[in-house]
Structure formats: C-alpha cells, structure tokens
Amino acid sequence: MADEVIGIVGAGIVGLAIGREVTLRRPGTRVVVLEKEDRVAVHQTGRNSGVVHAGLYYRPGSLKARLCTRGKGMLREYCADRGLPYDECGKLVVAVDEDDVARLDGIHARADTNAVPGLRRVGPDGIRDIEPYAAGLAALHSPHTAITDYTRIAEAFAEDIVAAGGEIRFHSPVTAIEETGDAVHVTAGGEIVRVDGLVVAGGLMTDRLARLAGDRSDPRITPFRGEYMLLRPEKAHMVRGLVYPVPDPRYPFLGVHFTRRVSGEVEVGPNAVLAFSREGYKFSDVRPGDLAECLSWPGFWAMGFRHWRTGIQEMHGSLSRRAYLRPARRYVPGIGPGDVVPGGAGVRAQALDRRGNLVDDFRISRMGRVTAVRNAPSPAATSSMAIAEHVMDVVDGRSAG
C-alpha cells in the first residue's frame, strides 16, 4: 500500500533486518523504527562475539536450523555486497574426554542433517594442524564458520531503511501499545505513533513489550550476563580461529570458549551468571524492579533448583580469574591466568518458561496487527535476514510463526 506505515520496536540487528525486509517486500511502505537508545545496536547486537554460525548444534527441522542455514548465506552475500568484514576463520569443536567423544557423534549427525558444508572429524594431530596450541582427543572442524562485525551490519541495515524512505527514531522508549480497528497506536518517547502494523523485536525487553500488546507472560525473559576475558596481544597468535567445547546437554549454556574477532583480538568466554538488571553489564548494576520480576517468576526457581551447581561454578568463575580459565585451559593448555585481561560483557535475553525450561528455538507470536519476536537467542544475529523473511511471512499470513 502506498500510504502504509509499519512500525518496528527495537534497533538491534533483528529489528533492523525486519525493517529492511519490509522495504524490499512492500515497496512504498514507510518503516518507522522506534529505539529507546541514542544509536543502533547498543545491547545484544553491539556486544555480540561476532560469530557467523554454520548450524552444527541445532535440532534438525527447527527454526534455528532452517533459518541459520539460510541466514548465513544471505549474510555472507550482504557483507560482500556492502564491503563489510566476513572472515571464514573456521571453528573446532573439541572433545577432551570420552564423554565428549560420544557426544561429538551426535553433533556430527545433526550437522550433516543440517547440511553444514565442509565438516570433517579430526584426531589429535588434525587438531594441532588447525590450531597448533589446542589439545583434545577428537574434534569437528567447520571451515566455513565465520566472524564478522554485527554492529556495522546493523548500521548498514539502518542505512537501507532510511534510503528507502523510512526513519529511525532514537530516544523513543515504547510505553503503551493499543490496537484499534484499522491501526496500532504506539506511545513512544511521549508521542503517539500511528502505524498499520507493528513488529516487536525488543531483545531484553521483548516480553514486556509483547505484554503491552496483549500477549501472555509466558515465556519470560531472564537476563544472564556473559563476561569475557581478552588474550594479551602477545598471546593472540595462540588461537587462529574459534575453539569451542562439546556442549553438555546437562547444562543450559555452552561454556567458556575461544573466539577470534575481526579486530584480531581473541576473546575467552563467556561465562553465564544471573544479571541483576536486564541491562546489567557489571556486577554492580542492580535494578530492584528487574530483579524482583526475575525472582517472582516460577520458572526461575525451577531452573535454579535443576542447575544450582552450575550456577555456583559460574559465579565462582566470575569472582576468580583462575577458576574462570580452568575449563578453557582444557582446550588450550598453554594459556594461563596471567595471559588474559578483563574484556567486555553482554546480557543474553533468554526466554524461560513457567516450568523452568530454557526456550531453545526462535519463537514468534501474533496478536492482531502486532507481531512479537518472543525469543531470539544465538544464532539470531547469524539468522537475522532469514528471521526477517520468516517474520514477514507470519505478518502476511504465510506462516503460523
């Protein structure tokens, strides 16, 4: 429609990818992105490790598996077209004990089903050929796993929206959403914005925003802070690409690993500790309302009861550099506490259901003229362009979500 206006809440990479997809799919439609911060990519996107995932771990047939595969290819082409960094440095998933070796078989089978290209299994000598300072019994090598700069990609998406006649409104926190018969009225930054349809991609705040539109409270976002260390520059040569552990299904998070950035820096991490604020990037960042909301959710206590030992270990690692590095040194033994310095931190917007289960797959919900991205954990940045296609299919009635 020539006069149609579509609103997007959230100027992270997913929200901006959706806004860009609107301009491609509905030429002439005006896109208005509402963002509470003063620039794009302030939170999860701007604090992302930069990995472009190949799709090794995800359950075949899931949205994650399908959208990661398509999204990776779209992202690679977009970066090439826009001159953005995209480095296929490769990833090793390293097994350091017999339990890991057994789980590696399952990952290999999933990756084959997900058509991950170039994947091969290597032994100890093969590990050293790829990563000379790494050690393990066996590993899967994914040569096409890549790294990029998601902030720059988000900025490019924003430029595409503006070039198509859209706008990005900063300093515009959304405080109310009301649907009338033929429109949605969004109160943002003290003004009422009338749009024909609204997509909520609010990351850490997306459950609250969805509830404003009449969506249910389940699942609830529970914020987990991930803290990183950086290898000292003189040690950065010890990791050429990405060195990951074999995921343990008993635990909710992946564990500390090594990630080369497009800047040349090498990150170690992240751990996963409960954040006392939805945007709590430091231990001292506490918002009583956020904390009370988290502690009042039954799912938080159910998850805590199930994984309390892991929680204690993660907190210990947060307080002790030696404890933090202990699991990482299983994969690159030559790196010790003196070889790292504190890095940045991010907060993961993890959806948690009422029974304490971490919602694993992407989840999209629809309430009349409002569509909400209720859960978009990793690999959401990798999948962002494909998520945008899928969300617009939901908006257009081609998909159930």
Statement: residue 399 has pLDDT above 80: no
From CA 48, how far away is CA 380, in angstroms rounded? 10
pLDDT of residue 382: 98
Beta-carbon contacts of residue 303 (< 8 Å; ≥ 6 apart): 222, 252, 352, 356, 357, 358
Which token pair is 394? 């939901």
∠ CA 171-175-178, nearest 5°, is: 125
Which token pair is 250? 């008993």
Question: Which 8-state DSSP code applies to residue 165?
Answer: T
From CA 30, how far away is CA 194, in angstroms rounded? 12
Task: Please write the tens of the pLDDT for every residue from 91-125.
Answer: 999 999 999 999 999 999 999 999 999 999 999 99
pLDDT of residue 310: 83
Tell me the H-state helices in 58-189.
63-82, 98-113, 124-130, 150-163
Task: Please write the tens of the pLDDT for every residue from 265-278.
Answer: 999 999 999 999 99
Task: Please write the tens of the pLDDT for every residue from 123-181.
Answer: 999 999 999 999 999 999 999 999 999 999 999 999 999 999 999 999 999 999 999 98
* Section 392-397 average pLDDT: 92
**C-beta neighbour count of 369 within 10 angstroms:** 21
* Percentage of the residues of the chain whose pLDDT score is greater than 90: 90
* CB contact burial 11-33 (16+ within 10 A = b; e otherwise): bbbbbbbbbbbbbeebeebbbbb
Q: E-assigned strands of 136-272?
A: 138-142, 146-148, 167-169, 174-179, 184-188, 191-195, 197-200, 220-231, 242-245, 257-260, 266-269
pLDDT of residue 203: 96
Statement: residue 1 has pLDDT above 80: no
Statement: residue 252 has pLDDT above 80: no
**C-beta neighbour count of 304 within 10 angstroms:** 14
pTM for this entry: 0.96
Task: Say if residue 327 is preceded by a cis peptide, omega within 30 of 0.
Answer: no
Statement: residue 58 has pLDDT above 70: yes
Angle between helices 63-82 and 380-395 (to 10 degrees): 110
pLDDT of residue 87: 98
Task: Please write the tens of the pLDDT for every residue from 348-374.
Answer: 998 999 999 999 999 999 999 999 999
pLDDT of residue 307: 85
CA dihedral 366, 372, 374, 380 (to 10 degrees): 120
Tell me the H-state helices in 143-266.
150-163, 206-212
pLDDT of residue 371: 97
Q: Among all chains, which residue has been given the structure tokens 């480095």?
A: 87
Angle between helices 13-25 and 380-395 (to 10 degrees): 40
Average pLDDT value over all residues in the chain: 94
pLDDT confidence tier of residue 2, bands split at 50, 70 and 90 = low
pLDDT of residue 308: 79
Q: Among all chains, which residue has been given the structure tokens 């494909």?
A: 386
From CA 200, how far away is CA 221, in angstroms rounded? 14
pLDDT of residue 317: 86
Angle between helices 150-163 and 13-25 (to 10 degrees): 30
pLDDT confidence tier of residue 299, bands split at 50, 70 and 90 = very high
Statement: residue 255 has pLDDT above 90: no
pLDDT confidence tier of residue 233, bands split at 50, 70 and 90 = very high
pLDDT confidence tier of residue 398, bands split at 50, 70 and 90 = confident
CA dihedral 283, 289, 294, 297 (to 10 degrees): 170
Question: Which 8-state DSSP code applies to residue 104?
Answer: H
Would residue 355 be called left, alpha or beta, if left means φ above 0 and alpha means ψ between -120 and 50 degrees? alpha
pLDDT of residue 181: 85
